[in-house]
Amino acid sequence: MRLKNIFIASLLSLGLTACDNNEVGDVSLGLFTTQDIKINQLIDPIVTGVTCHIASIEADLSLSDPSDSSIACRQTGEITPEMIAKIDKSDSGEVIFKKSKSIFFKSMKMRRIYDPKTQTLIYVSYSTKETSGSFKHSISTVPLWGTQAYQKQPEPNH
């Protein structure tokens, strides 16, 4: 009886993840599979002038989704110096998005990392569980060049 309750709860939670309000696309992989490519939109919670789109495979009737994902981030609004002042500037950056991919502790995360030398925001999506000998990951960058947040570098003296 307890196993049946766990199974029903798992199916309900999978159904709820399919109703994600950040989902902007759903591409079927064919009639003979329960897997689809889901495309989610994420606006950076601090640097609100950046929008990322994350594509990942989700299986409707599975207890674990595949780890592969793809990410593309672009400037879609203003990026100000005040926004950049608020972000974590450590080498590991900060997690700005997390989504469960399994009832077995696997998740997909997205981090924002700042590269001060090139004044670029780096967004990395990755799986927290090793798959086929590798942690799956994808990267996208948004340069601050041309934004209010870009700091002109002094000219080198010759």
10-38 residue pLDDT tens = 433 443 344 458 899 988 888 887 778 88
Query: Residue 4 falls within a domain, yes or no?
Result: no
Give the pLDDT confidence score for residue 100 in this predicted structure.
64
Give the pLDDT confidence score for residue 33 in this predicted structure.
75
The range of the structural domain enclosing residue 94 comes to 23-143
Query: Residue 83 falls within a domain, yes or no?
Result: yes
Give the pLDDT confidence score for residue 98 in this predicted structure.
83
Domain count, the chain: 1
The H-or-E segment that residue 4 falls in is: helix 2-17
Does pTM top 0.85 for this prediction? no
What CA–CA distance (Å, rounded) separates 71 from 103? 23
Query: Residue 153 falls within a domain, yes or no?
Result: no
Query: Residue 1 falls within a domain, yes or no?
Result: no
Query: Residue 32 falls within a domain, yes or no?
Result: yes
What CA–CA distance (Å, rounded) separates 49 from 54? 17
Query: Residue 7 falls within a domain, yes or no?
Result: no
What is the percentage of the chain residues whose pLDDT exceeds 70? 72
Tokens at residue 56, please?
A: 């990942």
- Consecutive 10-residue runs of the chain (158 residues): their mean pLDDT? 44 41 87 83 97 84 61 98 98 88 65 97 82 73 97 78
Query: Residue 56 falls within a domain, yes or no?
Result: yes
Query: Residue 121 falls within a domain, yes or no?
Result: yes
